[in-house]
Amino acid sequence: MCFLSAPHVYKLISRTFEILRSQVKSDSCVLTLCDSPVIIWPNKKFHATPEEVTTNTICEDLQQWIHVVKLQLMTEVTKPGPLSGLVLCRKVQNSHFVSTTLPMDCIVRASSSDTVKDVCDRLMEELTKQLDEMEKVTLQHIKGTTLLTPEPLHFLLPDPKGLVTVVYPAGMPDTQLEAKRQELHRHFELPDDRPYFRRANAYHFPNEPYRDGYLRNPHLVLTHPSLEDGKVYLVQGIYSYHHYMQDRMDDNGWGCAYRSLQTICSWFQQQGYVERCVPSHKEIQQALVDVGDKQTAFVGSRQWIGSIEVQAVLNQLLGVTSKIMFVSQGSELASKGRELANHFLTQGTPIMIGGGVLAHTILGVAWSETTGQIRYLILDPHYTGAEDLQLITDKGWCGWKGPEFWDQTAYYNLCLPQRPKVI
Partner 1 sequence: MGRGYIVDDAVEEYLSKLCEQKASQITGLLIGQSSAQRDFVVMATRTPQREESTASAGNSLDKDWVTEHARQVSRMLPGGLSVLGVFIISDTDAKDTQTTLRQLVFAVENLISSEYLWSPSDDDVTDCVTLHVNSKTRKTLCRTFDVKDPKSMAKPADWKYQSGVCSSWITVLCCLNVDIVVPLPENRSSTENMDECLKEGLKAWTQKIENGICLLDGKKLLDDTELTTGQRRNVKQTYTAQLLLTSCEHRVTDVVQRCGGSVSVRGAIHSRAYLHSNKPKAKLAEKLLKRDVLSTVATRVQMLLEELMIAEQESSVRDKKQTAQFSLPRRVFCPVKGSGPVCVCDYQFSYEELSEATERLKEMLDIDAAEEDLDTSQEITAETVQSGEDMHSDVAAEPTVETAEELKPKRSNYIGVAMATAVALLATAASMLYLNDI
Query: Active-site residues: which are they?
Result: 256, 380, 382
Determine, following the binding rule CB under 8 A, whether residue 111 of this chain makes contact with partner 1.
yes
Q: Which residues contact 302 (CB under 8 A, 6 or more apart)?
A: 251, 253, 254, 255
Q: Does residue 137 interact with partner 1 by CB under 8 A?
A: no
What minimum distance in Å lies between the beta carbon of 41 and partner 1? 10
The nearest distance, CB 270 to partner 1, in angstroms, is: 20
For partner 1, the binding residue among 13, 177, 234, 249 (CB under 8 A) is: 13
> What residues from 156 to 185 belong to the interface with partner 1 (CB under 8 A)?
160, 162-163
| Nearest distance, CB of residue 181 and partner 1, angstroms | 23
# residues contacting partner 1 (CB under 8 A): 93
Question: Near partner 1 by CB under 8 A, which window of 57-65, 314-322, 323-331, 361-369?
Answer: 57-65
- Residue placing its CB nearer to partner 1 in the complex, 101 or 223: 101
Q: Counting contacts by CB under 8 A, is residue 109 touching partner 1?
A: yes
Distance CA 307, CA 124 (A): 52
Contacts of 287 (CB under 8 A, 6+ apart): 279, 312, 313, 316, 317
Q: What residues contact 115, with CB distance under 8 A and at least 6 apart?
A: 55, 56, 57, 58, 59
- Binding to partner 1 by CB under 8 A, coded x per residue (else -) over 27-46, reads -x-xxx----x-x-------
- Minimum distance, C-beta of residue 168 to partner 1, in the bound complex (Å): 15
Verify binding: residue 147, partner 1, rule CB under 8 A.
Answer: yes
Query: Per rule CB under 8 A, is residue 112 in the interface with partner 1?
Result: yes
β-sheet bridge partners, residue 234: 364
Find the shortest distance in angstroms from Cβ 29 to partner 1. Answer: 9
Which of 55, 56, 145, 409 binds partner 1 (CB under 8 A)? It is 145
Least distance in Å: CB of 130 to partner 1?
10
| Minimum gap (Å) between residue 369 Cβ and partner 1 | 30
Report residue 68 CA to chain centroid gap. Answer: 18
Of residues 73 and 389, the one with the C-beta less far from partner 1: 73
Report d(CA 129, CA 124) in Å as an integer.
Answer: 9
CA distances 82 to 43, 78, 86, Å, are 22, 11, 11
Q: Determine the Cα–Cα distance for residues 265 and 240; give it in Å rounded to an integer.
A: 9
Comparing CA positions, the residue from 196, 240, 197, 232 lying closest to residue 216 is 240
Task: Return the number of the residue (160 or 292) whose C-beta is nearest partner 1.
Answer: 160
Binding mask 63-102 for partner 1 (x = CB under 8 A): x---xxxxxxxxxxxxxxxxxxxxxxxxxxxxxxxxxxxx
- The span of 21-29, 249-257, 313-321, 403-411 binding partner 1 (CB under 8 A) equals 21-29
Give the Å distances, CA to CA, from 73 to 31, 149, 166: 5, 19, 19
Among 44, 54, 135, 149, binds partner 1 (CB under 8 A): 149
**For residue 76, what are the CA distances in angstroms to 32, 33, 87?**
11, 15, 20
CB of 68 to partner 1, least distance (A): 5
Which of these segments, 56-64, 257-265, 279-287, 325-333, binds partner 1 (CB under 8 A)? 56-64
Binding residue (CB under 8 A) for partner 1 from 46, 53, 106, 375:
106
Among residues 146, 223, 296, 390, the one that binds partner 1 under rule CB under 8 A = 146
Q: Does 7 bind partner 1 (CB under 8 A)?
A: no
Binding to partner 1, residues 197-216 (CB under 8 A): 205-206
Question: Does 291 contact partner 1 by CB under 8 A?
Answer: no
- Select 59 or 289, whichever has its Cβ closest to partner 1: 59
CB 259 within 8 A of CB 244: yes
Q: Is 390 in the site for partner 1 (CB under 8 A)?
A: no
Helices 256-270 & 307-318, crossing angle to 10 degrees? Answer: 30
Nearest alpha-carbon partner for 318 in 279, 263, 362, 359:
279
The residues, ordered by sequence, that sit 6+ positions from 373 with a Cβ below 8 Å of its Cβ are 227, 228, 230, 366, 367
* Distances 120 to 48, 206, 334, 396, 423 between C-alpha atoms, Å: 11, 22, 54, 44, 34
